[in-house]
Amino acid sequence: MGLLDRGQAALVRRQKQAIGRRVVYTRGDSGVMLEAWLGNTLFARNTEEPGASVVWGERDYLFLAADLVIDGRMTLPMLGDRIIETIDGEEVQFELQTATGEPPWRFSDSMRTTIRVNTKRQPKRVCERDEEP
């Protein structure tokens, strides 16, 4: 491991400590709690109509690839996985997806130790029991 790689690893450790937040990464009924930090990616796609374009960006999460262990196995992110974060005391769900057809995640460093996932906030669901008198 070279000097730049060691510096990158130290930076990631400090980011987790300074700006990390606990989130739950879920796939189906399984999940794992991990420490992630926020990022932002803006996607743009021009359409064939003059002057029209699609711009999309929501919330990115970055976390260590080694932390993504679901059902006892290290795994990589998949389209449709969700991240649950508590914001102002409320659980908010973000789903891994993109609007441009690109993959919903990528490695964020040359050592492939940090993963960046692109997400879109999911609307709140109204539970049936909330509607009962």
pLDDT tens-digit readout, 15-62: 666 667 899 999 999 999 999 998 877 655 555 666 655 555 578 999
Res 129 pLDDT > 60: no
pLDDT of residue 57: 59
Give percent of the chain above pLDDT 70: 67
Q: SS3 for the chain, per residue? A: CCHHHHHHHHHHHHHHHHHCEEEEEEECCEEEEEEEEEECCCEEEECCCCCCEEEECCEEEEEEHHHCEECCEECCCCCCCEEEEEECCEEEEEEECCCCCCCCEEECCCCCCEEEEEEEECCCCCCHHHHCC
pLDDT of residue 7: 66
Segment 53-74 shows an average pLDDT of 84
81-109 pLDDT, tens digit each: 999 999 999 999 999 987 677 789 999 88
Task: Decide: residue 83, CB within 10 A, 0-12 exposed, 13-18 middle, 19+ buried.
Answer: buried
Counting every residue written for the chain, the total comes to 133
pLDDT band at 127 (very low <50, low <70, confident <90, very high): very low
Segment 112-123 shows an average pLDDT of 91
